[in-house]
Structure 1
Amino acid sequence: MLIYLDNAATTPLDAEVREAMLPYLEGAFGNPSSIHAFGRQTRAAIDTARSQVASAIGADPSQLVFTSGGTEADNLALIGIMHAQPVEKKHLITTQIEHHAVLDACKYLERFGYDVTYLPVDKFGRIQVEDVRASIRPDTALISVLHGNNEIGTIQPVEEIGELARQAGILFHIDAVQTFGSEPLDVQKLPIDLMSLSSHKIYGPKGIGALYIRNGIKILPRALGGAQERRKRAGTENILGIVGFGKAAELVKKHHMQRRDHLVQLKNTFIEKLQAESINIVINGHQEKSLPHIANISFPGVETETLLIQLDMEGIAAASGSACTSGTLSVSHVLKAMQLPEEITISAIRFSFGKDNTIEEIKAATTKIGEVVRRLYR
């Protein structure tokens, strides 16, 4: 039995999404910028998909810019916003545990004279609102926070941070790539100005994402050329990806609560059964303010790489952290920032669950994990 527990890295393509995409793979090929019937057909498909994604987050379709994924959305949010600021606004605030799409964008900005404050987190991976308040300066233009951490699942207090940002007249961006589909996202209620999304985390295709931009916000494009995406992102649109993303977002809106309840059951069962396996485990991240599909577990005495290889041999797919950095052997920057003991950081594995996982799979996986860990203890 092969058991896929790496859904935070990517999710399998939903059958309904695949069906929605097929016509644009096989026959509807027109350039949406063309005025003839072939172009109008694909333009209509883009408009429908934009409405589907916007509806899933309570936005107006005009507020969405399609990108190549969450990374480009993050890059456009940070670099596009900061480059659009007046010269006296050179400071932005983020956290030490952001996805590298944000951290590397910040490093890029620092090379051009921008100043970045990287907020610390507590042992559960949560930032403190008071730390955000204390970091605000007269030249602060933007705050960027990862809504739900992709490695440990901890959810940040974005409502409180957003209210603080509004009071101070500062723009607020959240990376919601992991929370889209598991947590309710309504831009009419959330005090945010920009939000990054990705399709392949919600059973849509890879290579497509979006950035929500509240009306009235000036942002400079990162891709130059044509007038696509209201001149915020040049380039012929990825029709196939956009259509798939739209359908996946429609299914998120339709099945959100059902999926979430299922994920909660999977995670609770996983932790309960793992704790009954008579092995030493430590659960990393916040136990309550946490995403329902991510469980980051350390197995003191067993190294991460060794355990991952052994689990893979047993047919269980898991990860050491972000899929964008799991090819490296370095300790997670997230766990480092939490200042956890070395025996915890070098033995951590992220298990992440999806809508297609079953309770039977979870029980079988925990039994196998227990067997493998006990074998490695010897």
Structure 2
Amino acid sequence: MARLSQQAILERYEQLAAQRADYTWRNYQPIPLPGYESTASQAGRNCFDRGEAVAKALDGRFASRPLRIIDWGCNLGFFVFQLAKLGHEVVGVDSNASYVDICRFLAETNEFPVKPRFYVDQLTPSSLSNYSGFDVALCFSVLHHLGKEQLLTLRRFAEVYPVALIEMDGRDFGRHHLFPFYFYLEPTVETNDPYGKGTRRRKTWFCSNVTSEGLYVNLKQRNLLAGRSVLKKESAQGTTVIKREELTSRHTWIRTDLRQEQANYARWSGEKYFASLKDFGETDQHRWIEIDYVEHDGQANAESIQEFFSFLERERLFLLDLCADSFLFSRGKLTVVDLESLFPVETTIADLVKTRTRKTEIPFDSYEKQRNHILQRLVG
């Protein structure tokens, strides 16, 4: 479409609809603006149901105040225009320059309380930093296109946008992918729109790390796993850590779950090497524990590490999953977290490995090897 005009946009839209083929991204969304009413019946997806659900969710949580909103994967700008008409300041981002050109033309040729703006960009962990400072982010049917980058992108997305509306499909409508990064998840609308030769069910989630109980921030930077989360909670009562796992989630190679960690914290409550267990619980979908937060300053000392492994050996305890990131230091005091792989040695370490893991051997299978590895990693 070399020269943009209302007539040219409508003609191309009608051509695609007349082909009666699977919809393309060019007629994926209707255009909710005067003069484009015919696109409502020709579009690949309804969109109005989600638009109403989004507006209702925002109105209920932000008391109808004007918001700064960004829509990643905005396509033809349906949600941008709907929210802009309500008085919000909205930015749309899409990787397709031709769609952004159409959106800019539509924005310039229609009246809004605040003109929406549009940019061409890819949704990546690094690009998100260029679009910060928004109250709410939208991301509809985009994340499933990212493949292996999905969890990395979601981690950064939740950091930049503590409040978001995200549409997902697939198993449990993507809840297990959102769960590690957003504390509060609530479904707002479920749709079943044309897809290929059939239909596809999708669900839009209201995702938030801002609640009446506190503010939440993801702490896990590596070994990201769907269905498991480690979040720092900041509230009037202080700073703690919430560890959660969906009831269907398990450790990747150790036969354990969060109940083992809860039992360890309860058993060793008051022991100087471990954080205090503040609370725990279970819902119909996940279990959780809350422990003290440790402000890690990185000032490791060999003496504390030596003493800790002497304690383990004396108490006949063993860490099957040895991770240097679990050894936190604050003003010289060592606190070891991630206790779900801490087990008593009833016979031998080799037997413990066989009964509690899906492996026949592990690289650090003695107290001495573990002690030396942590000393080398943290002290040098």
Q: How does the TM-score come out when normalised to structure 2?
A: 0.29
Relative to total residues, which structure has the larger strand share, 1 or 2? 2
> Which of the two has higher C-alpha Rg?
2
Q: How does the TM-score come out when normalised to structure 1?
A: 0.29
Higher relative contact order (CA 8 A, sep 6+): 1
Relative to total residues, which structure has the larger helix share, 1 or 2? 1
